[in-house]
Every structure is written in structure tokens, then in C-alpha cells.
A and B are shown apart, each in its own frame.
Chain A
Amino acid sequence: MKTVEEIKAAIEAAVPGAGVEVVHNPGPSGQHSLRLDPSHAVEVAKFLRSDAELAFDFLSNVTGVDWPDREVTEKVRVTRPVTRTVDGVEQTVEETVEETRKHVERGCLEVVFHLFSIEKKHGPLVLRMRTVNRTDQVELPSLTPVWRSAEFQEREIFDLYGVVFKGHPDLRRILMWEGFKDHPMRRDYVEPDDFDYEPTAHDEVLARAKAHQAALQAAAVGHEGTGAD
């Protein structure tokens, strides 16, 4: 298989302005990955699937990862003017000091795709995409139209992480029930003390059956009424 750098070059030749970035994996597995720009992801995916040499026809695994906001502490050297009294005379001197600064690195939700080729029997190629933040801009393009195997896995990520996949044909919760509010796989998820009510499979069916029976009964009563006259 081509290296990720070569694949990056091939993508950039085929999809101009794709904005692909190599993410180095420092571990011994040597599975480096490519970070895609969400706005070009579907085009890049179509290219990877249909290119005769790469032929990544098999999307094996789709994973959601949560990267919460984190406080980064770093030491910086700063130079600043200091007023000092030297021998009774006030002087302003430049002084370099080491200072500890803290800032908050904004978190995001990440989706990781593992691609293989059944035709060429190579892989894995790891792709990643990141949302802008974890709260309101959590949209990513869905790759389900390109690889159907993403269908349930993207639903699972939507359910457990809250990533909204644009273009998914049937984006619903898959493991938790409809009406569940939170996203349990997020790292800051807090379990509620108690679930008072868990819906069962038959609630909806039961409600419709009751409505149906009621309608039948109403019709029967109406019929009887006209018959007596």
C-alpha cells in the first residue's frame, strides 16, 4: 500500500483544495492517519473508493472520540520593563522572567474511519474528522451514501456522542431509546440517580391499538343508533 504521504498527494491532485493533513501516530503500531476537512470529505471519500489504485471499497470501522476542553499549562519566557531602585535612583530595566500561563484549549468531537480494500487486499487507511466544538457546531458530513457500512455506526456515534451527520438517510438513536436526552459516551456525562421511566417496545403499538379500538367502537355505536331508528 502507498504511504499516507503518497495518499495525501494523490488526494490533493484529485480534489483541489481538499486540505488533508497527516496525523503522525507515535506508537509502535505505525498506523498514521489523515485528517480531512469536513467540507470536502464526501468528495475525498468518493475518490478513495473509486480510484483504481487505492480502491478502498470497504469501510470497516467508524469510531467516535470525545476530546473535552482542557486546560493547558505552559511556561513562557517574557520580557517586561521593571522599575527598580538602584543606589537610590529609580531606573526602568528590561527583565526576562519565566511565567506559567494557563489557557483553555477548546475541545471537539472526532470521528475516525478505518478503511480497507477488499479488491487490492490492503489497509488500513485511517481518516479522521473533527467538529468545530462540542456544543452547538457538531455537524459533520455523513459518509453513508459512499459506504453503506457507516449507516449503523454513524447512528451509534450520533446516539452516544451527539455528532450530527448531514446527509445520513435515517439518523435516529440506535442503542438508547427515543426521548433519551444526553450522550452517554461523552467524558463529562453524569449518570442520573434513577431512571423513573423506560419506555417499552409496545407503548406506541398499544396506543395505536387503543385508538383503533376506540374508533371501531364509536363506529359500531353510531351504526346501532341508526338501526334503532
Chain B
Amino acid sequence: MTLTALATLAALGAFHGLNPAMGWLFAVARGLQERSRMALLRALPPIAAGHLASVAIVAALVAATRSVTASSALAVLGGVLLVAFGLWRLLSERHFRWAGMRLSAGQLAGWSFLMSSAHGAGLMLVPVLVAEPVPGGHSGHLAAAPVGALSGLAAAGVHTVAMLGVALAVAVLVYQVFGVGVLRRAWFNVDRLWAGVLVAAGLVTLLRA
């Protein structure tokens, strides 16, 4: 992976980590409910694991497919998908629905997986993955698929580490320093920005294809 690709993946991870809907706020809520910073800290790894799973599925799929098909077709498909999903996110007023806050670690990971998937977290990585040179230059061989998938997983890993780092920092800051009152002022509509990023990422992918 190029340095630019790594930096982009990490930046997108930071963006995802910053979004209260992606999990840090849930961790803060658990910390406050149990009056324990440990409860906050314990909540973050399952949240990151769920996010990783959501992103990794898309990343592995894209990377593996790229290893065996012409990249321009995939880029066009990915770009169209991104623009469409982004526009839907932008225009739809539906939000993720979930009732229940007392979750086990496994359920918490499941919640995070669904939340990330519903937001198209993995899709946002498509332009980076599509722009990457094919590993080993073996494009066109079915045998290259597993290697491709591995590089996709690595990409998802880098992304999630950045996501977890930012989520941890924000969660601890809100819990220890700012308090949840900061939400009233600082929680700008990340979802709308997010949808805009999806559309932009789709357009970039299409232009490059």
C-alpha cells in the first residue's frame, strides 16, 4: 500500500471515529450509567470489532474482485454504487433504529457492525481500494483473489485502528473533561457530511475509472 493510501485510510478512520453514532457516545453512556471509566473503556473494543467486520467485508470483497477483473469495470460499479448510496443517505430522513442499551460485548459488536454497515462505512473506502495497484501484478488470475482479499483486510485494519484511536480520545475527553452537554453545541450533522463524502468518493472513483 502506498503512503497516500494508508494516510487516506487512516483519515477516513478518524472521521468515522469522530462520529458519535459510530460508538464513542455509546461508550460514554455506559461509563456514565455505571459511573465507571472502565465501563467506557471496555465498550470500545467490541465497537471497534464490529466496525472492523463491517469495513473488512467490503474491503476484502473489493480487493479480491480487483485481483481477478479489470479494474475499470469495478471502479465504475463502485463509483455508481457510492453515488447512489450517498444520495440516498442525503435525501432519506430515515435513521438507524435500535432499542436496547444493556448489551453484552458480542451484542455490542453486532450493534456496531449494523450501525457501520447502515452508514456505508466500508463503501467509503472503495475509492482508496480501487486506486491501489494490484498486488503482485497477477490480475486476471483467480488464484490472486486470496492475496487481494488480504490486502483488503490490511486496509480495513489500518482504518479501524485510526477509528478506535479517535473514538477513544473523544470518549475520554467527553467523559472526563467536557461532559455530555457539549453534544448540544458540537454535534453538527455528521450524517449529512458523511453522505456528501460518499457522493464525492463515488464521483472521484468514476472520474478515475
- Are A and B genuine complex partners? no
Interface residues of A (CB under 8 A from B): none
